[in-house]
Structure 1
């Protein structure tokens, strides 16, 4: 536990779902309506720091969140991902997985999806 970490000191009333080793909350800076985070209870910065059991629980809770979001918000699709390391955009160094509901028309051209995280890589060029 890190007393300076917003996930280690989360207000329990904000937790929407939980299992043995992780919990889910709505993102306080949502990219879209319903944007959720799945967060392991144990404080560590990277996906690669967790045990196979913790990773299994993370993905089980991601699936549970998807079911909840389908029911509450009826999105057309999802982006699911994580930022690992400062150069990848990580700002809170306690692993958290983003579940971002997507809707048809919420962006002009969604093709390339997560590839837009690196400037100029969202558009597919010729195959090599």
Structure 2
């Protein structure tokens, strides 16, 4: 009698049109998720998203706004010292004209160090550059050459223990 190998289902969350593996999420609340970034601008650059897919910030409920920013505050307070940073940049690109390429509200949380960019506001150029690359890409798996699902899962596991 032959047995069929068991197919393991990978639990995912929705990030706009993309599936995010649960292994890439390091902290969650009933309304929001904190996840590692496919292509971080600086070490520790993570994203905080509402669980519900909402295109624009104005589409969030008052509860979701409070929850996503509370989670961003909690995440920032832990990843800043973990990555040896001295400051944080929080950024939202709200709508296509603002550079949003994934149609789902998300907060970029970047640990910052003195001199990490020659001109401090270059961080926004880097976020925009990254967004443009994301818009132009045709194959998500091709982009993942930068960070594999295993690399992202490993970073999420590293961060997850900081919140237990």
How far 1:56 sits from its partner (Å)?
A: 0.6
* CA radius of gyration, larger in: 2
Tell me the alpha carbon deviations over residues 13-53 of structure 1, each in whole angstroms, 9 at most, x when there is no partner: 11011111010011111110000100101011111101000
Runs of 4+ in 1 over 2 A off after TM superposition: 1-4, 111-118
- Rate the CA distance shift 1:37–1:117 in 2: closer, same or farther, 3 A: closer
Paired position in structure 2 for 1:36: 46
- Rate the CA distance shift 1:116–1:81 in 2: closer, same or farther, 3 A: same
- The secondary structure found in structure 1 opposite 2:110 is strand
Paired position in structure 1 for 2:101: 91
Paired position in structure 2 for 1:125: none
Q: For the residues of structure 1 that align with 2:49 and 2:69, how far apart are their CA atoms? A: 11
- Rate the CA distance shift 1:61–1:103 in 2: closer, same or farther, 3 A: same
Q: Which has the higher helix share?
A: 2
Tell me the alpha carbon deviations over residues 50-87 of structure 1, each in whole angstroms, 9 at most, x when there is no partner: 10001111011001111220242121211101111111
What is the Cα-based RMSD across aligned positions, in Å?
Answer: 2.6
Higher normalized contact order (CA 8 Å, seq sep 6+, divided by chain length)? 2
How far 1:117 sits from its partner (Å)?
A: 8.4
- Rate the CA distance shift 1:53–1:75 in 2: closer, same or farther, 3 A: same
Q: For the residues of structure 2 that align with 1:111 and 1:54, how far apart are their CA atoms? A: 28
* 2:34 aligned with 1:24: yes
Structure 1: any 5+ residue segments left out of the alignment?
119-128
- The secondary structure found in structure 2 opposite 1:10 is strand
* 2:17 aligned with 1:5: yes
How far 1:116 sits from its partner (Å)?
A: 9.6
Paired position in structure 2 for 1:53: 63
TM-score where L is the length of structure 2: 0.63
Kept in 2: contact 1:79–1:114 (CA 8 A): no
**Matched residues, number:** 116
